[in-house]
Structure 1
Amino acid sequence: MPLSFEGAFKAKRNVNLGGKRTTNDRGELVRKAAIERKNREERRKTEFVSIQLQSLSRGVLCRERIKNEFRSQWYENYLPVGAHQLNVSDWDKLSECIQKFVIFADPQLEFGALQNVISALLDFLHSEFSPKDLTSSKSKSGGSDEKIKEAELSNFYSIKSELSSLSFPWVWKRFTTLCLKSFSKALPIIKEERQYADLYPFLEALGYFSVFLEVYEIPIYYDCLMTFYEYSHLQQEFSMFRSAFSFSLLSPLDDTKDTFNEVQQLFIFHVFTRDSYESLLDIISSNLVVSKIFPSLSFAKEADIMSSLTSLETSKLFCLAGACLHLLHVEVQSSTLWCFCSLALDALYTHSENSVINRFNAPVDLEEDEDDEFSFVQDYYAHVQVVAKQFNKLLTSQNLSTQRAFAEALSSNFITKVFTEITSSTILNVSHFFSSMLKLFPSNRTSTLMYVSLIDHVRVEPNSSFVQYSWDIFTESPIYHLFSRKVDVNSIMQTNSGYWYQLQLLLDVYSRMLFTMVDEEFHSVQHNPLYNTRDKLCILLKNLVLGLYWDVYASKEVNDNSLVDITQLRVSSTSLLQRLFRINYRKPYLHEDFFLMEEYFNLNEFETGALQEAQSASTMDIDLSTGMKVDNYNESRPKLNILNNCSFFLPFRFRIHLLQQLITMDKQANGFIQPFGHLKHAVIRRNRIFDDGFDAFYNLGKMFKGSIRITFVDEHGVVEEGIDGGGLTKEFLTSICKTVFDINYGLFSETKAHLLYPNTHAYAQDIERLRCYEFLGMLIGKCIYEGIQIDAAFAPFFVSKWLGHPSYFDDLTSLDNNLYEGLIFLKHYDGDVENDLALNFTVVHEEFGVRNVIELIPNGGNVAVTNDNRLQYIHLISNYYLNARLSKQCRAFTNGFTQIIDPHWLAMFHENEIQVLVGGDPVPIDVSDLKKHTVYAGGYELNSPTIQLFWEVLRELDEEDKRNFVKFVTSVARPPILGFKALMPSFCIRTNGEDESRLPTASTCVNLLKLPVYTSKKTLKEKLIVAVRSGGGFGFS
């Protein structure tokens, strides 16, 4: 069949003569049924809602109709048109009137009628229940306002007591609520019209019937009363209802209900959070407030109170704190008041901290002059300073009463009163209070702690100072036993936080006391209140500090979940422990190993962990330029925390070994370990060794840690032969140090004990000289970095500045003992300092025959030193000699030193240990140790006759000649810190010919002794003694 398509095509029709057949789809039927059910359900719901609305509407309309009927009937029966008072004749009629009135009364519509009802009610109460006539009371009291107020209040309370058993309590509940709502709605109108007397009946009535208020209505009640008070208390007519207001304010506090404690707390949070709290305390008795209201807080949890406080607006929280501070001046024995006020201060700190954080997170203009306060550094004190700055900004925007309250709380009179009258029941919360105040006012820290430290007796223990009394109380506390071993930080959350605040304040006050206490007084029972418990205090501090630094994550959890400020506790305890350790080092009162805590450490694991932490540490968080060692703490580095803050827990030799490991790791990280990596070559003229060294290496900065190669040129300009494999570098470092540390060179002076410190002349502070001091710091750092010891001893007060420690009064002994003794004499002088000694606040500095008078304070020449200000003079003199005149030189030296030696490494040692690092260990020379680590060359062996004689002779020398010998061959009179095994290169003895007339010679750069072959012990001894006593070294013959 041919297929073709030629145009239009129409399908053939299919005709069905049997009719249309419908196919039933089951799914479609189900869907239709579901829709029908849904529609029927919606119709039923609509009908139900319609019925409910109709019922509600009918009910509302019915009630409104009935109310209107009651209203019309009530007005017709009790207050017809034109009447000015209720038509009631007795209590039953009045009670019936009020029952009907509360059924329909609306707070706004029936305000006038409610006034009439209240007036009638008050008239009846006064006539029936008033125990005395106030008019007669006034005449009897002779016009005394106080007596009249007492009589009025007594009258109010007497009436209220008669109402305690009223029938139909539901009526009086509705009546009281109606009064409160009407009072609230009338306040704005009354304020505009200044018709405050119209609300007087409401005040009195609310006071009588406050017992019928529900707890949720109490905040509204107090807010209304305080709003009325703020509107009216400055008006003249307020005196008319002053007593009624006082009665109404205090009335709910007399109600004996299950919610009594809750009502008292609402009083605090709604009455004392207003600006008018100070004048309010003139109306209500402060003693009454303290005795009746604040005790309720003892039943609440601190965490709940803190939550309520932090949820307050900042302005209200300031008012509440101000009110509490005012009350503290009246009653210092209320432990609950102290506790609440402390929590309010903590909440203010939290508000200030959150304010700073919010500002930090918000976009800021970095060109503003306050951008530095957003740095939020890790340093605890820096953080506190930033928050305190924000707190002071907030405080200055508050009312003057609050500002004055905070200022008075830091006054010497208030502090003296508080701590003189302190008891065992208040000491915990008082400690909490002042610890919180010091965080908010860090600039007042010194003066506050000083005032407390001067409390030499407390009322309950007249023979005890505050420090001694606080210690005695603390040792009887339930947490004292925790300090017998390393403290479990988690225990802080399981004990009363007050004990920890007591401990913190005790440590802070005692630290401040030590600041003005010289070593002589510290070791005196008359001047040191903790003289008999020094060892116990040190044990407590050791175990506390170790726990706080070791249990890092537990400390963080406690800080987040406890009221105790772990950071402040750690800072305070560490600072005091460090101070006690330094005192013990200057004049021991505890045995040498007392501060060691080896039993808590596996030293091998500790070393591995410390090296790992050091490797991961990318930044240094010690700032030595400020002159103070800050809180060097990082949560991720517990082992370094211990090394940087309480290194004396670990043995000195262990720390030396760890330092060497850290230096090796640093060399590897910087490529300095390679023989020729970062090699810097310098040609050094021996007669210009410092100038050439400075020109060659000063600008290297931190790269001076790398390898250097030295070529010497003698005084005749001849280049000396020799390849620097380390020996010439050592000779360069030891020679240049010997040159510049000679006091005749002009950069350094020495004490009477021949200890070095920077020159104090004016020329020592010019720019070029300061660069020299910086280079000297680099040289000392390089010597430690390379393990090279030099023959130089520095004054302890100067070495302490390398660590960032300030120098204190007792450090004067290492500078000028005569000056120290003179100031001690001044401190304890019993006579009239001003007239007998004729001193003023100046110091005379003589330089090259010219006397310069330097004023220690402005106009110091005209300010006499007296018995009262002599302590200030003593510390200013100390500061001048130890800090002020040396600050630039020491800062420059330290800047150079820390370019080579990481401050973290430096923090592992104290002043005397660093001196050992620089110049070796001041211990007797161990000849056996030297012999054990000696190598021989040039034909000598251990059994060679001359060698045998040599060791016999060396053992027979006295200690001084032994030191001279060690200096002769190594350039340093002291042995290496870790013994002669650490001498690099090892001590070597080689032959130097057979001419017995020659003297032994040495090459100190390689620790080499050139010893002729002596056959006689006598000859060897004579020649050796001549050589080592001559002071000669390389090439001496």
Structure 2
Amino acid sequence: MDIPLFGDAPNKRRREINLGGSHTATSHNDILQEAKLRRLQRNDLKRRQDSAVLIQHWWRGRIALNDVREDLRHTFDQDITSITGLRCLVLLGQDEDALGRWSTVVLSSRKDVLSQGDQSWVVLLQRLALILLRSISSDPRSQYARAHLDVLATILSSNPQRVPIAHYLVSHGFYTYLRQAVLQLPMPAKASPILTSLATLLTAPLAHRDILAPSLREFVTTILTVPLLPNRLLPAIGPFSARLPLASLNLVPLDILDSPALSASEPKIHLLANLALLMPPRYTALPPAAFATYLQLAALLMNALPTNALEPAANKPGASSNWADDDSDDETETQVTVVSSFESREALPQLDEKTRKRLLTLPSSEHIASLLRAGQSQALLPHVISFCFALSTVWPTRRDKVLTTFMAYNKGGLVREIYRGFVRRSPLGRDDSFSDITKPDHAADWPPLLLLADLYTQALLTMGDDEFFSSGNNPAAPRNPMSLDELTEFSRKLLNIAFSLYWRDDSTSVQDGSVPGLGSVRWENVREKATKCLQALHARDSRRTFTPKDHWLVTSQLDMASFIQAAIFEEQELSQPEHGRATSMSKRQIAYLSPRLGVLNNIPFAIPFDVRVGIFRRFVINDMQSRGLDAFRGRMMTTRVTVRRTNIAQDGFDRLGDVDLKAPIAITFMDQFGNEEAGIDGGGVFKEFLTSLCKEVFDSDRGLWLANKKNELYPAPHSYATEAHSLAWYRFIGRILGKALYDGILIDVAFAGFFLAKWLGKQSWLDDLASLDPELYTGLIFLKHYTGDPEELALNFTVAEEEFGVTKTADLIPNGSNIPVTRENRLQYIYLVAHHRLTKQIKKQSAAFFEGLSEIIDPKWLRMFNQQELQILLGGVNAPIDLDDLRAHTQYGGLYDDHEHTIEIFWSVVKTFNQDERRKLLRFVTSCSRPPLLGFKELNPNFAIRDATADETRLPTASTCVNLLKLPRYRSPQVLREKLVQAINSNAGFDLS
């Protein structure tokens, strides 16, 4: 029997130990994981032990602190009002019960401790004051808040060291704490017991002259930026306002706008709103330095705000931005933006109704009038100008009222003063330095010039030519605030500025760059303002010249040949598919992409007229070539149309409504018996068709068109003219006139200038009303200059419309029948009446006509001309007929040549004709009485004379379709004259022989 060794139990298996390492039961990774786990366990145990120690330490500290605080409270309770008690109170810190007891006891029986001037007391009072401020800011409605406020106010008013204490508090967040307290007050705060004390404390540091500058700066940036501050302090606002040292506002530096407190738009808006309540009542009492600082500060605040920031509702549908409301003629920017660098708009803050109403006092007529009365000194006027310019910029919907009030003040005297005192001597826009306008050195020169441009553009809306050209000899008569010589110089400045901003190598800087000193005002805005005023002044000069020859041209700055080639290239580039259809681009977008087309579309008068006509014809030729409609292939794409001579207009409407009119059209006439007339239309028959068609469709008896006293046509304003069928006719007529312009066919039709303006996207003026309704125009001019009370005339914002003997009344503005015309709003009434007659009544008709015209002629091509030039483009130049030019470009056929006997006596007879007879001859041969705008070389086809017969008893005839005079072989000048005069006066018909 075996005896187990070392005490092993019987039959127990002996543990096997393997020292080889290759066949271990536990892998190497398992060993590592187990070691890592044990390490983590040890670390966790240590962390727990350390945490326990920290908790114990903290707990022992809390116990010790509580013991100390109990000792401090006990000591404090022994003598609350002693310096020892004050030290204990400071060490206790935010102990609301102790602070409340101390403030209550001190105010009730020991106010003298607040007047201690000992340095130890002062240091302790400073520390305690901060503790009290924190207590107030955390809960201004606590039971001790009023006591704390009174203690602080007493310290800052009665302590001998109040100035150092106040300086210490202001530099350690005094106004920040009080701002937090004010923001927690209920709205309205009438029932709050702390308001009087709080209002007193807010102004306490401002009573100390030695620290007024830093205190006032902090007060402005921290307290005056509180939303609805006057409403929060309403029961105490009167005394509070009276204590404000606003007469020392000049101590506030203008760089406060760079402080973090004013980095966003909302605090700027609230600061402006609070200033709008506090400052205007003090205008007349403010020292010039303080008044100037206020004006500068307010202008900088407004300029720093995004447009519409003060009237977010203006971004909503239905909001209006000017007198014309939704019927303005100004080109909108609602097209899809194609330029990625167009600026993004800042999100506008949501303003409460009280703040908005308070802000609206700034652009009111009453406020502006009081501002102008107080700021008439030469030293203040630049700041008043900047303020008013900022007003008109940040409030688009109030812009008209601001400008009208400014313009009317002192009968336009301020306008003269702005020009003579600031703009005339300004370096901006001079011929020798117009390219340097974007330099920061000119920051102070921009507000006067831009405000003057806005003012004069606004004034021209209701300024008649009699006032514009007034000499000022009659003191009782209305007078232009600027002389014609001054307007000439001013318009040249604007022209140089506008041209420089269109003609920039880097258009992005114009699009996105801001004007130095004007905040959010961009160079693009400057260009727009200059352009609008330029266009208005040029329109006056076009009607009645007051500028010297070549005044509007910038040819000295350009090489015309390269300009033409570049303009044509740019137009081709814009017509490429990647840019989309050119008609979808606004003038703003075109100016961004193409500086030359920007000039041609916005200030075309800067380029000579004949150059623009040549560019127009090249645009048409390029368009033809891009469509494959050149002279060789065009005939293969001809559309053939049969038209009855007895029904030209209706057949044309029915058969050409959807035809591509840019392609050649071959017309075949059918006579009254239904037979086709012989001959092939090589272009001349279509011209005859077009001439006959225009005679029919523009006949005022048809009801679509009316004529003024000058026989100038405009769409009928009657209701039936707005029906769908009538609008289809307007669209068709627009297409037909577009075809005439496209093919260079002159049409003997004259349109009213205000209607032509709509082709160009321009606005109609009050003076345009004189040609449409002289009686209404006279009445409005009488109202404008009426010296009595306009309410005596019993007018309201309505207009009478008469149609077929029935008169009805239409409101010019919502609820217009209940709004009387007053001295303050009469200019708005005058504008709205003229706008209604000139624009609103024919809005649909004009839109339909222009829709058809735009299908054939790109709108940007037409914008190269003004109304008068467009009329010339349509019907030729209304100028004396140059016989030498006509003879030099006349072709002969048959037996005739330039030296044949009949031709010699023909020209000798025509030379004796007066201009009226020459026009009749031209009309007889070509169907148009006006010569081509660039001379008879442009007449297509050329003027031609062919022999007809040797029978001298016959009258001359003409084929107007080919501009051909069929002249019998007269041998006697007397007979030729007699027969020719008889023919041109009898208006002989079309001859196919």
TM-score class, shorter-chain normalisation, is 0.7 to 0.9
Q: Does 1:516 align with 2:462?
A: yes
1:682 paired residue number = 641
1:923 to 876, 879, 887: 879
Structure 1 CA distance for aligned equivalents of residues 942 and 514 of structure 2:
52
Q: Quick check: 1:780–1:897 contact (8 Å CA) kept in 2?
A: yes
CA change 1:191–1:437 in 2 (3 A) is: same
State the TM-score, normalized to the length of structure 2.
Answer: 0.79
Q: CA deviation digits over 1:749-802, x for unaligned, max 9?
A: 322222222334443332212211211111111101100001222222222222
Structure 1 CA distance for aligned equivalents of residues 373 and 240 of structure 2:
28
Tell me the SS of whatever aligns to 2:746: coil
1:274 to 226, 247, 252: 226
Q: Does 1:107 align with 2:93?
A: yes
Q: CA deviation digits over 1:856-888, x for unaligned, max 9?
A: 558988998888876666555534443343333
Structure 2 CA distance for aligned equivalents of residues 1028 and 247 of structure 1:
93
Structure 2 CA distance for aligned equivalents of residues 285 and 863 of structure 1:
37
Structure 2 CA distance for aligned equivalents of residues 905 and 240 of structure 1:
69
Structure 1 CA distance for aligned equivalents of residues 824 and 310 of structure 2:
39
1:428 paired residue number = 382
Tell me the SS of whatever aligns to 1:455: helix
Structure 2 CA distance for aligned equivalents of residues 845 and 186 of structure 1:
71
Structure 1 CA distance for aligned equivalents of residues 792 and 229 of structure 2:
51
Q: Which moved more, 1:283-292 or 1:852-861?
A: 852-861
Q: How far is 1:101 from its partner?
A: 6.5
Q: How far is 1:916 from its partner?
A: 0.7
Mapping of 1:804-843 within 5 angstroms?
A: 804-821=761-778, 823-825=780-782, 827-828=784-785, 843=800
1:693 paired residue number = 652
- Structure 2 residue identity aligned to 1:442: P
Q: Does 1:438 align with 2:392?
A: yes
Q: Quick check: 2:717–2:842 contact (8 Å CA) kept in 1?
A: yes
1:467 to 391, 415, 434: 415
Mapping of 1:64-213 within 5 angstroms?
A: 80=75, 82-86=77-81, 94=83, 105=91, 107-108=93-94, 112=98, 126=112, 176-177=126-127, 179-181=129-131, 183-185=133-135, 187-188=137-138, 191-193=141-143, 195-198=145-148, 200-205=150-155, 211=164
CA change 1:206–1:375 in 2 (3 A) is: farther
Structure 2 CA distance for aligned equivalents of residues 738 and 585 of structure 1:
28
Q: How far is 1:932 from its partner?
A: 1.6
Structure 1 CA distance for aligned equivalents of residues 130 and 803 of structure 2:
83
1:994 paired residue number = 950
Q: Quick check: 2:553–2:607 contact (8 Å CA) kept in 1?
A: yes
Percent identity, aligned pairs only, is: 30
Q: Does 1:450 align with 2:398?
A: no
2:356 paired residue number = 403
Q: Does 1:503 align with 2:452?
A: no
Structure 2 CA distance for aligned equivalents of residues 452 and 499 of structure 1:
19
Q: Which moved more, 1:811-820 or 1:651-660?
A: 811-820
Structure 2 CA distance for aligned equivalents of residues 195 and 684 of structure 1:
96
1:535 to 484, 488, 493: 488
1:590 paired residue number = 547
1:549 paired residue number = 502
2:755 to 798, 802, 812: 798
1:767 paired residue number = 724
Q: Quick check: 2:136–2:181 contact (8 Å CA) kept in 1?
A: no
Q: How far is 1:889 from its partner?
A: 2.5
Q: How far is 1:936 from its partner?
A: 2.5
Q: How far is 1:190 from its partner?
A: 6.1
CA change 1:838–1:766 in 2 (3 A) is: closer
Q: Quick check: 2:206–2:215 contact (8 Å CA) kept in 1?
A: no
2:567 paired residue number = 610
Tell me the SS of whatever aligns to 1:683: strand
2:918 paired residue number = 962
Q: How far is 1:919 from its partner?
A: 0.8
1:712 paired residue number = 669
Q: CA deviation digits over 1:576-616, x for unaligned, max 9?
A: 22112212222333345332222222211211222222222
Q: How far is 1:982 from its partner?
A: 0.9
- Specify every segment of 5 or more residues in structure 2 that has no aligned partner in the other structure, as ranges: 1-57, 317-331, 473-477
CA change 1:289–1:838 in 2 (3 A) is: closer
Structure 1 CA distance for aligned equivalents of residues 970 and 450 of structure 2:
69
1:335 paired residue number = 292
- Structure 2 residue identity aligned to 1:809: L
Tell me the SS of whatever aligns to 2:428: helix
CA change 1:974–1:237 in 2 (3 A) is: closer
1:292 paired residue number = 248
Structure 2 CA distance for aligned equivalents of residues 432 and 648 of structure 1:
31
Higher relative contact order (CA 8 A, sep 6+): 2
Q: Quick check: 2:643–2:670 contact (8 Å CA) kept in 1?
A: yes
Q: CA RMSD in A?
A: 4.5
Q: Which moved more, 1:818-827 or 1:610-619?
A: 818-827
Structure 2 CA distance for aligned equivalents of residues 952 and 868 of structure 1:
65
Tell me the SS of whatever aligns to 2:391: helix
Q: How far is 1:521 from its partner?
A: 1.5
CA change 1:740–1:755 in 2 (3 A) is: same
State the TM-score, normalized to the length of structure 1.
Answer: 0.76
2:319 paired residue number = none
Q: CA deviation digits over 1:102-152, x for unaligned, max 9?
A: 9x93523698389759987999884896xxxxxxxxxxxxxxxxxxxxxxx
CA change 1:813–1:176 in 2 (3 A) is: same
Tell me the SS of whatever aligns to 1:975: coil
Structure 1 CA distance for aligned equivalents of residues 99 and 780 of structure 2:
85
Q: Quick check: 2:130–2:169 contact (8 Å CA) kept in 1?
A: no
Q: Does 1:657 align with 2:614?
A: yes
- Structure 1 residue identity aligned to 2:640: H
Q: How far is 1:273 from its partner?
A: 1.9
1:51 paired residue number = none
Q: Quick check: 1:219–1:266 contact (8 Å CA) kept in 2?
A: no
- Structure 1 residue identity aligned to 2:392: L
Structure 2 CA distance for aligned equivalents of residues 501 and 641 of structure 1:
24
Q: Quick check: 1:111–1:182 contact (8 Å CA) kept in 2?
A: no
1:1005 to 961, 969, 972: 961
Structure 2 CA distance for aligned equivalents of residues 1034 and 796 of structure 1:
31
Q: How far is 1:715 from its partner?
A: 1.6
Q: Does 1:742 align with 2:696?
A: no
Structure 2 CA distance for aligned equivalents of residues 775 and 919 of structure 1:
19
Q: Does 1:265 align with 2:214?
A: no
Structure 2 CA distance for aligned equivalents of residues 291 and 830 of structure 1:
39
Structure 2 CA distance for aligned equivalents of residues 453 and 505 of structure 1:
10
2:708 paired residue number = 751
Q: Quick check: 2:440–2:516 contact (8 Å CA) kept in 1?
A: no
2:428 paired residue number = 482
- Specify every segment of 5 or more residues in structure 1 that has no aligned partner in the other structure, as ranges: 1-59, 89-93, 130-158, 360-372, 458-463
Q: Quick check: 1:172–1:212 contact (8 Å CA) kept in 2?
A: yes
1:326 paired residue number = 277
2:48 paired residue number = none
- Structure 2 residue identity aligned to 1:852: T
1:1021 paired residue number = 977
2:514 paired residue number = 559
Q: Quick check: 1:519–1:810 contact (8 Å CA) kept in 2?
A: yes
1:906 paired residue number = 862
Q: Which moved more, 1:720-729 or 1:267-276?
A: 267-276
Q: How far is 1:979 from its partner?
A: 0.6
Tell me the SS of whatever aligns to 1:909: coil
Q: How far is 1:1006 from its partner?
A: 1.6
CA change 1:967–1:495 in 2 (3 A) is: same
Equivalent pairs counted in the alignment come to 886
1:305 paired residue number = 257
Structure 1 CA distance for aligned equivalents of residues 239 and 875 of structure 2:
75
CA change 1:286–1:683 in 2 (3 A) is: farther
CA change 1:336–1:723 in 2 (3 A) is: same
Tell me the SS of whatever aligns to 1:349: coil
